[in-house]
Amino acid sequence: MRRNIWIDTDPGIDDAIAIAAAFASTDRLKICGISTVAGNQTIDIVTDNALWLTELLGGKEVSVVRGAEHPLIRRPHPVGRVHGEHGLGYVIPDKPARTLTSAQGAAFLYQAIRDLPGEEKMTLVPIGPLTNIALLLGTYPKIRQKIDQIVLMGGSAREGNITATAEYNIWADPEAAEMVFQSGVPIVMCGLDVTMKCLLTMEEILKLKKAGPIQQQFARMLEFYFDSTAYRGKGSVAMHDSVPFLYLLQEEKFSGEHHVMHVSCTEDSCRGMTCVCDGAYTYSQTEKPQNVYVLKDVDAAWFTQELMERLMRY
Ligand code: RIB
Ligand code: CA
């Protein structure tokens, strides 16, 4: 049976590639809907991008709902230097022809999960800041019974990327992340420890460029990513947001550890840190439930091959 998934996203270049991988995997993944969240770009931009992506990828019947305009407490922190002023690198998307399904993101997501038939459950796949997921779980706590797990891109057991200590999605809304990590819902954390091993090189991008018109759009996004301050001169780019989807397709290609997980919600250089809270991360001395399965390793060659295989299906 196909797995029900809900994508929460801030497209965003790597979000776009991940959504393309998901739409190329509907034989295994039933995409119940997409909610947008302010992150890589403003809520207006990421929402238009999500609508445009569903048209580009042949999924315009999939619900797209507009989510949180800003984090629970912090200020939005778009990263145009990495994703471009329109959020999709060198691709300037047309105004989407289709319209939003709803502008009430968390409420719509609650109804979508509540209304799943019988014993069916939802797998939540957040690949941006966790604001919407925190609002969902905080506003409708009983909905946890219909969520089988949250497979999220975020966090790090070691160094960060937006700061020396924190990964962007967690750093952008640390209070939301702490609420989600403490919700009691089983969590798989696809953090930088594993996502920085999940790479595409210029070789793959040139292959995309020679393929069809849709792959050429992916290539134009990725070329910007390559040129960005995050990856300039590094020879490869991390496909962070594709990791949760490929994990759901073949989890045996990944390995990890169960840990107690808290998020640092300070204002200092530890903001968004997920590695040393509640005692030393790896040597936690507490009796708290190990609520998070932290991915640490992957068959990196398989990841690149599998992601490309799906991107080439269009
Ligand atoms: O740290 C990587 C994450 O931050 C990804 O989700 C990327 O899209 C950015 O949002
Ligand atoms: Ca993202």
> Is the CB of 14 inside a 6 Å radius of any atom of ligand 1?
yes
pLDDT at res. 1: 85
**pLDDT tens across 49-87, in order?**
999 999 999 999 999 999 999 999 999 999 999 999 999
Q: Which domains does the chain have, with CATH numbers?
A: 3-308 (3.90.245.10)
Which ligand has the minimum distance to the alpha carbon of residue 243? 1
- For the cut 70, the answer to whether the pLDDT of residue 158 exceeds it is yes
Active site residue 70: no
Answer yes or no: is pLDDT of 283 > 90: no
At 103 the pLDDT is 96
Task: For residue 299, give both structure tokens.
Answer: 């068959």
Instruction: Convert the pLDDT of each residue in 129-142 to its tens digit.
Output: 999 999 999 999 99
At CA 47, angle to CA 87 and CA 90, rounded to 5?
20
53-73 CB burial, b ≥16 within 10 A, e <16: bbebbebeebbbbbbbebbbe
State whether the beta carbon of 153 lies less than 6 angstroms from ligand 1.
yes
Which of these ranges, 247-251, 265-269, 283-287, has the smallest mean pLDDT? 283-287
What does the pLDDT read at residue 285? Answer: 58
Put residue 62 in one of left, alpha, beta given phi > 0 → left and psi -120 to 50 → alpha: beta
Q: Is this model's pTM higher than 0.95 or not? A: yes
> What's the 10 CA to ligand 1 centre distance in angstroms?
8
